[in-house]
Amino acid sequence: MPVGNTLVATLLESPLRGVLSGSVDVIRYVGRRSGREISTPTQYVEHGDDVVILVGRPETKTWWRNFRQDRDLEVLVRGTWRPMVGRALIGADEPDVVAPLLDAYLARFPKAARGLGDDAETRVQNAVMVRCRPRPRSTARG
């Protein structure tokens, strides 16, 4: 993890997390190709029990491609690691799913709309989001 990301992750795990933890999380997952554990800070909003991340300039980023299918990850929110399942949602492919998530995100971070287009439909079409849902508890009995 680059030094800046390490610093943010360390801060979010510390008692000083209040400075960032209302808008920045850390996602931790195993890379689908590398098999390495990867941690990266992202800006997020909570939508019910879900954590929703808008991928800024997705054409220049690769991390979100790990979530083309449901994939386990952990999300550090307000000092607590949450076991979750993440999946990338592409607005052009799933506009009805992306639209309400994007609305929630833009309500919290309205400036993020600038990079997505001039109208609501274009914004949804251009959006790439990663929705993280709570990981189902195992129902196996041992």
Nearest CA to 68 among 130, 135, 1, 4?
130
For the chain, give the longest Cα–Cα distance. 55
Would you state the pLDDT for residue 78? Answer: 87
Mean pLDDT of 43-67: 96
Tell me the pLDDT band of 22, cut-offs 50, 70 and 90: low
The verdict on residue 142 lying in a domain is: no
> At 111, which amino acid appears?
K
For the stretch 88-108, pLDDT in tens is: 999 999 999 999 999 999 999
Tell me the pLDDT band of 23, cut-offs 50, 70 and 90: confident
pTM for this structure?
Answer: 0.82
Tell me the pLDDT band of 13, cut-offs 50, 70 and 90: low
The verdict on residue 140 lying in a domain is: no
The verdict on residue 69 lying in a domain is: yes
Higher pLDDT pick, 90 / 138: 90
Q: What is the CATH number of the domain that holds 15?
A: 2.30.110.10
The verdict on residue 61 lying in a domain is: yes
The verdict on residue 22 lying in a domain is: yes
The verdict on residue 141 lying in a domain is: no
d(CA 100, CA 95): 9
> Which residues form the domain of 42?
3-134
Would you state the pLDDT for residue 17? Answer: 47
Higher pLDDT pick, 20 / 66: 66
Number of independent structural domains in the chain:
1
Higher pLDDT pick, 8 / 92: 92
Query: Pairing between strand 45-47 and 71-77?
Result: unpaired
Indicate whether 3 pLDDT > 80. Answer: no
Residue 30: beta bridge partners? Answer: 37
Is residue 35 within 8 Å of residue 110, measured between CB atoms?
no
Higher pLDDT pick, 18 / 57: 57
Query: Which DSSP letter does residue 19 get?
Result: G
